[in-house]
A and B are shown apart, each in its own frame.
Chain A
Amino acid sequence: MTDARVGVRAALAVGRVEPLPERSVTRELAGFARRNPMAAAAGLVGLLIVVMAITAPLIAPSDPLKTDFRRMANPPDARSFFGTDQVGRDTLSRVIYGARSSLIVAFASVLLGTTVGALWGVASGYLGGRFDLVSQRITEVLQSFPDLILAMAISMAIGTGMPAVIVAIAITRIPFGNRVIRSVALTIRELAYVEAARAAGGSALRVMTLHVLPQCVAPYLVLATAHLGVAIIIEAALGFLGVGIPPPTPTWGNMLADSLTSLVPHWWLVFFPGLAITVTVLAFNLFGDGIRDTLDPRLSPAFLRMMAGGRRG
């Protein structure tokens, strides 16, 4: 009797095996924050900047385009914390709105460039042969231009404005996506399950999309986050050189360019937009490092070398 009961209870206990801790999003995030407190903090700052960009009309103290000729080139004071520019526009509001153009360009160009590069890389790594050879040569040629100069030439050719800037920066990101993902695809191609898929009669397209591509997601994410900061700096540099998004739309780059129009630049017009760039890039870089450590620790040294050009030998 008692034995049976114990048996029943045991059976019940077996039936109620503690479920594995759920892989809930919050738990994952908490784990990430514990392992990489720096990256988590950076991610939080990055998120705040994104929120700032989205809610710009709500939080900006005034219209970024509204000139005020009674308050021209005012140093920072209680009414405008970051001062005003030569035509009396509020620098703080312009910095907040500037986040919009910077982030849209950075996200769109990295997404576009890395995706195109990654798909191309999967194809050239998996297909190999002549296609791969030609792709490698094109990549080589694209990487023979300094980033900023290639972006300048392209945006000159296709015109200024946000879409042009996005395309110009995206094209400079393609070779990186191509090279890194190609090398991943090369190793995955040799794995047994891919061979099995091929043996089962899967077409090249099917094997690539269903079996190779999913394995490239982690390196893709690492790559994309790693390039966000670079994209922001290129966008700012283009704006600064006067070939990016043209005024009056405020961008951090063209604000810096504007500050040079007075003989002696006002320090607040130089300091705050640049600070915004630095903080944003720093946040994205640190967050990207954390993502890399989390998603694929094995990637780190090889990845670094890859970022340094992935030379043969």
Chain B
Amino acid sequence: MRKYLLRRAAFGLSTLIGVSLIIFVVLRILPGDPLVAMFGLEGFAKLAPDDRARIMEDLGLSDPLPVQYARWMHDITTGSLGRSFFRGEKVSEIILHRGPLSAEIGLLAVLISWLVGLPVGIISAFRPNSLSDNVARSLSILFLAIPGFWLGMLIVLATLFWFNYKTPLVVVHLWQDPWANLQLIVGPAIVLGLGQGAYIARMARSCLLEVIREDYVRTARAKGLKEALVVMRHALPNALLPVITLSGILMGFVLGGSVAVEQAFGVPGLGRALVVAVIERDTIVVQNLVMLYAVIFVFINVAVDLSYAWLDPRIRYR
């Protein structure tokens, strides 16, 4: 197991190096002059050549690209991630201030997706083509098509309309005011959780349907076990493996989707920071936040692989 762990960790690390290279190439080499991005074409034309050189120097953008890349890597390992072009805010501060909110949303969303998706999938699989199965499947197909941010906007509108309620607009941490914090995260978490829950229900259903045709499930039934026991003890553990993988992949959807859903709910999380930075063309912030999202995603995938190996010994020993 340890060898497997080390191998996966090394794999994840090498992937992240590739990720950082892509981010760097996309954001530094493609867009042309960062000053044009910052000041706009007209603003750029008004700048004297000396000023241009000085600003580039200040931003650390006049060094050769490999040096810039090395400095970025160094910054990442030391945790000081540079400053925003516009606000002078430290990127690490943005992350520490807003990150917890987005993390809570993500975790709660995953929890909701399992709590909703798994039972629905199980009910569907054990009464295939029954009314409840058809309702569940139609709902999951519908939820796969509804954009989360739109659902979020509708929820915001509805609560505003019927209860005249609006969520707080500033960052409130769990340890400051749990109740206000919950109000901030619960909406996005439900929207993201239901979207993922639809995938999970679909996957759980199809995997369970595959598994319950297996001989050992028939044996379990033949020896007179209660149906609930057959499901929980025998069928479910094997059907769960692909669902766990899917859940890891779906974290990518949650990470990506949370950006739009946070915007819809007006939650001041990391996603909002990223959107603002992209619109302001704040390269340093974008570069680090995108990297952060990728790090989290890769980390989750490695964790999923490990849990997979832990649940299924065949994988460990390959």
* B203 x A285 contact (CB < 8 A): no
A281 at the A/B interface (Cβ < 8 Å)?
Answer: yes
Residue numbers in B under 8 Å from A267 (CB-CB) = 157, 161
* B256 x A157 contact (CB < 8 A): no
* B259 x A138 contact (CB < 8 A): no
A122 at the A/B interface (Cβ < 8 Å)?
Answer: no
B192 → chain A closest CB, angstroms: 12
Residue of B with least CB distance to A232: B147
Residue numbers in B under 8 Å from A256 (CB-CB) = 149-150, 153
A43 → chain B closest CB, angstroms: 15
A142 at the A/B interface (Cβ < 8 Å)?
Answer: yes
Given the interface pairs A149-B290, A240-B149, A282-B142, the reply to whether A141 lies near B18 with Cβ below 8 Å is yes
Residue of A with least CB distance to B142: A282
What range describes how many residues of A lie at the interface? 35 or more
For residues 276 through 313 of chain A, which have their beta carbon under 8 Å from a beta carbon of chain B? 277-278, 281-282, 285-286, 301, 304-305, 308-309, 311, 313
Q: A144 vs B298: C-alpha distance in the bound complex, in angstroms?
A: 6
What range describes how many residues of B lie at the interface? 35 or more
* A277 x B150 contact (CB < 8 A): yes
A256 → chain B closest CB, angstroms: 7
Residue numbers in B under 8 Å from A207 (CB-CB) = none
Given the interface pairs A144-B298, A146-B293, A256-B150, the reply to whether A153 lies near B30 with Cβ below 8 Å is no
For residues 285 through 318 of chain B, which have their beta carbon under 8 Å from a beta carbon of chain A? 286, 290, 293-294, 297-298, 301, 305, 308, 312, 315, 318
Q: A259 vs B305: C-alpha distance in the bound complex, in angstroms?
A: 42
Residues of B within 8 A of A (CB): 14-16, 18-19, 22-23, 26-27, 30-31, 141-142, 144-147, 149-150, 153-154, 156-157, 160-161, 203, 206, 210, 242, 245-246, 248-249, 252-253, 255-257, 259-260, 263-264, 274-275, 278-279, 281, 286, 290, 293-294, 297-298, 301, 305, 308, 312, 315, 318
Residues of A within 8 A of B (CB): 137-138, 140-142, 144-150, 152-154, 156-158, 229, 233, 236-237, 240-243, 256, 259-260, 264-265, 267, 270-271, 274, 277-278, 281-282, 285-286, 301, 304-305, 308-309, 311, 313
Instruction: Provide a sorted-by-A list of 26 A–B residue pairs whose CB atoms are within 8 angstroms.
Output: A138-B18, A144-B298, A145-B252, A145-B290, A145-B293, A148-B257, A149-B259, A149-B293, A152-B274, A153-B26, A153-B27, A157-B26, A157-B30, A237-B147, A237-B260, A240-B263, A241-B275, A242-B279, A256-B150, A270-B153, A274-B147, A277-B150, A285-B144, A308-B249, A311-B308, A313-B312
